[in-house]
Amino acid sequence: MHNVVIVGAGPAGLSAAIAAAAAGAPVLLIDSNPRMGGQYWRMAADSLENQIDQHYDLETGLLLINAVKARKEIEVWSNAQIWSATHKDGVNTLRIIHQDNEKIVNTKNLIICTGAYDRTLPFPGWDTPGVMTPGAVQSLLKGHAVLAGKRIVVAGSGPFLLPVATGVLKAGGEIVELIEANKPIRWLKSFAAMLENLHKINEGYYYLKTISTGKVRPRFGYAVVRAYKADNDELDSVDIAKIDRNFNIRKIKNIKCDVAAIGWGFTADTSLAGSLGCKQIVAEDDGVVIWADDKQQTSVTGIFVAGEITGIGGSELSMAEGVIAGISAAKFVGCKVEIKKAHIKRRAKKQRFATALIRAYPIKSGWKSWLTGESIICRCEEVDLNDLKHAITELGATDSRTAKLFTRCGMGLCQGRICGRSVVDLVADNLEISPTDIDRIAAVNRPIITPIPLGVLAAGE
């Protein structure tokens, strides 16, 4: 029997590995982190000590991680980076940097669970040291037990801000402000999805209770719209603004802080699946995700996907999809196993909650009005909004690809992972058109998935 190869050991990948192994398929689980668990269950060490405070349900994570470790059918490669992947005649070739060497894995059966990363929006001063993503603040806490700063502003939009603020408080940090751009009233539109997922309300209540004991009163309908540097070039303060429903600024007040953790939801990491030719689509939140059928199979036979890569939905939806993807892949390699009705029902329930989330935390177009001409858009290449406008009005760029090639916007070290999505919006805005799905998908196309030293590339066969 052939291996089922799984990429990513977060909630989706772990669930898929256990489901596939339980069905009798040998599994190779490839993960880029030193320890399993993904971003969600990131841990500084394998023990529970000092960890519990930073997690809401670490028990589930440890259960899955220990189950994977206990199964001898599952081989795990940690610290393994896939730098390139290609698909030819039904075979997927993964080129992996593992323990300083390059390893090649050829497989017909692949489950991709590469997750997502924080979505950022540019604003004046966002390139100041001290302006971070909530994900970075949390990963410092979870992965290294380090507080990013003393006085922290947590801002942006989405439920993820709550656990980050909670984690900072539990670790002894001060939350100066916790601000959410959208108002909670939006949740009323999705009453049914809330009722069937009451435990998520409990989770939210747990965070808010912790936050209120830290004497923090969350503000709704506010956003960080500018950051200021101190003399030492580090963050001095931020402007927080009351914003209207479309995110346009109404009133501004300045707040001193040394860290501003600002996130606007998540962007799926589709680079690997995209390289293999899996069909990419634009989701309701305008993010690019991988299309999958009800068995979690992509447009490429034998490649399955689960978790945030199919659409942002949180850990529970990821696990539900992971189980189905694991069963589907095991069946694909010849195991006698079927997806159960309960699996489908569970996924549907979590999917309804995920859709409610997306609708409760929209990112409205008014964020573009926070920018000035001198605002940096691409931090890697230091391209500002005036440069982008010049590319359009003077040089004749009529799409984001051309604007990017004229300005080098998105061509630096991160390859547009941070600014790419915003650039598509900004270019379209300046051309007074709507971005097309083709523009959005072109912006996430990265044949070199992660940088590789030329020496390692040269040594490969």
- Interface positions with other proteins (CB under 8 A): 84, 86, 95, 275, 381, 394-399, 402, 405-406, 408, 411-413, 415, 446-448, 451-455, 457-458, 460-461
Closest separation in Å from C-beta 205 to other proteins: 45
**DSSP assignment of 359-388:** HHS---GGGGGG--TT-EEETTTTEEHHHH
The alpha carbons of the chain give a radius of gyration, in whole angstroms, of 22
Closest separation in Å from C-beta 32 to other proteins: 16
Cβ nearer to other proteins, comparing 87 with 186: 87
Closest separation in Å from C-beta 435 to other proteins: 15
Distance CA 79, CA 450 (A): 13
Cβ nearer to other proteins, comparing 146 with 448: 448
Closest separation in Å from C-beta 414 to other proteins: 10
Cβ nearer to other proteins, comparing 321 with 399: 399
Distance CA 197, CA 183 (A): 20
Q: Closest by alpha carbon to 425, among 115, 122, 124?
A: 122
Neighbouring residues of 150: CB distance < 8 A, sequence distance ≥ 6: 173, 174, 258, 259
Neighbouring residues of 232: CB distance < 8 A, sequence distance ≥ 6: none
**DSSP assignment of 119-185:** -----TTTTSTTEE-HHHHHHHHHHH---S-SEEEEEEESTTHHHHHHHHHHTT-EEEEEEESS-GG
Token readout for 222 is 């506010």
Closest separation in Å from C-beta 422 to other proteins: 20
Cβ nearer to other proteins, comparing 16 with 96: 96
Cβ nearer to other proteins, comparing 285 with 399: 399
Q: Mark out the alpha helices in 215-312 (DSSP H runs).
A: 271-275
Closest separation in Å from C-beta 274 to other proteins: 12
Cβ nearer to other proteins, comparing 260 with 403: 403
